[in-house]
Amino acid sequence: MPSIIRTVGGDIAPEQLGPTDAHEHLFFTTPIQPGDEYTDVDRAIEGVQELARAGARALVDWTPIGLGRDPEALLQVSRATGMSIVAATGVHRDAHYDASDAVRGADAATLADRFTSDLVAARVRSGVVKIGASYHRLQGLEPAVFEAAAEAHRRTGAPLCVHTEHGTMGLELVEHLGRLGVPASCLVLAHLDRNPDPGEHAEVGQAGAYLQYDGPGRAKYWPDSTILDLIARIADRGLADHILLGGDAGRRSMLHAYGGGPGLDYLFRRFKPRLERELGAELSRMIFAANPARAFAFEPRRDGSAPIDG
Ligand SMILES: [Zn+2]
């Protein structure tokens, strides 16, 4: 079977993906960010229209089970905007779930069945599995979630999208998932720019995983120039084909549609033109189009249902 990218509107050929925001959340609720949740479909459409005007053609929504994940609503947004949207199944790091949350009662086998069914049998199918690690360790529900995601990957071929806490444990997570049967080339590690250490990132890239930087616009933590420097240093080491960029607007206070900023479009409106000016258009095309088309593609191994027509 040829490689595909599984969007909420159906499977597409990787070369159809186009310029991609590799990490977004069109809806998000979590007990650890009270007051910053957002679930409104019309406002999501508004944000995605901004992102489309800024030049994006696709986005990957990393919102996992229990935190506002809504594939049907993502399909609505995709149809209203023409944006290709990849949905996630999976479970975030432990801290995002209350003590009484239903996901805590599920063992690895149950979670693996749920992830698999979201990937191959749901009416609106997911195209990636999101999982999360804590700061320098796996704790609480995380080891079982990693096991379940690896099993879902072995069954379906779908890529795993991994939240790292402050960019920690990149190489350990790649090795851990490798022991569970997931090749590094099927892994995307998010938030590595929270620990802007190009030598450390190069080790993760050399191991074969995708390095995702998703902090543009977070001026209170670090300037965008930090991310541009990281990209230049990783490219110097011959690993530009492992870099992905995402906006990761996971709070309503970051979204124009809710009166916040810098907006869902910041990555394409402000950061991408600067990347092109400072590091060149060819590198930008690689990072925004060629790399996502590889990172999010897979050969489906088991396919329970026909794709939805667009
Ligand atoms: Zn995120």
Q: For 101-122, give one letter per residue: b (16+ CB within 10 A) or e.
A: bebeebebeebbebbbebbbeb
Give residue 302's pLDDT. Answer: 62
One-letter amino acid of 24: E
Q: What is the pLDDT of residue 309?
A: 40
Q: Which of 155, 98, 83, 124 is nearest to 308 (CA)?
A: 124
Question: Which residues partner with 161 through β-bridges?
Answer: 130, 188
Contact present, 22 and 214 (Cβ < 8 Å):
yes
- Start-to-end Cα distance in the chain: 21
In this predicted structure, the answer to whether residue 46 has a pLDDT above a threshold of 90 is: yes
Indicate the SS3 state at residue 219: coil
Distance of CA 250 from the midpoint of ligand 1 (Å): 6
Residue 282 sits at the vertex; the CA angle it makes with 279 and 283, to the nearest 5 degrees, is: 50
Per residue in 6-15, pLDDT tens?
Answer: 999 999 999 9
Q: Examine residue 262 and say whether the peptide bond preceding it is cis (omega within 30 degrees of 0).
A: yes
CA of 32 to the centre of ligand 1 (A): 14
- pLDDT-above-90 percentage for the chain: 95
| Residue 55 pLDDT | 98
* pLDDT for 156 beyond 60: yes
pLDDT at 308 over 50: no
Enumerate the domain spans of the chain. 17-295
- pLDDT-derived band at 304, boundaries 50, 70, 90: very low
Alpha carbon of 110 to ligand 1 centroid (Å): 24
CA–centroid distance, residue 62 to ligand 1 (Å): 6
Question: Residue 191 C-alpha to ligand 1 middle, in angstroms?
Answer: 8
- Given a contact cutoff of 8 angstroms between Cβ atoms, the answer to whether 90 and 115 are in contact is yes
Confidence of residue 306 (pLDDT cuts 50, 70, 90): very low
Q: Kindly give the distance from the C-alpha atom of residue 1 to the centroid of ligand 1, in angstroms, as a whole number.
A: 31
**pLDDT tens column, 173-189:** 999 999 999 999 999 99
The CATH topology of domain 17-295 is TIM Barrel (3.20.20)
pLDDT digits (tens, 9 = 90+) for 208-259: 999 999 999 999 899 999 999 999 999 999 999 999 999 999 899 999 999 9
d(CA 284, CA 37): 32
Q: What percent of the chain has pLDDT over 70?
A: 97
Report CA(92)–ligand 1 centroid distance (Å). 9
Residue pair 6/127 in contact (Cβ under 8 Å)? The answer is: yes
* 247 CA from centroid of ligand 1 (Å): 8
Rounded mean pLDDT, 153-157: 97
**pLDDT band with cut points at 50, 70 and 90 for residue 1:** confident
Closest CA to 264 of 281, 273, 278, 251: 251
User: Which residues are in the CB-under-5-Å shell of ion ligand 1?
Assistant: 62, 248, 250
Give the mean model confidence (pLDDT) for residues 274-302: 96
pLDDT of 36 > 50? The answer is yes
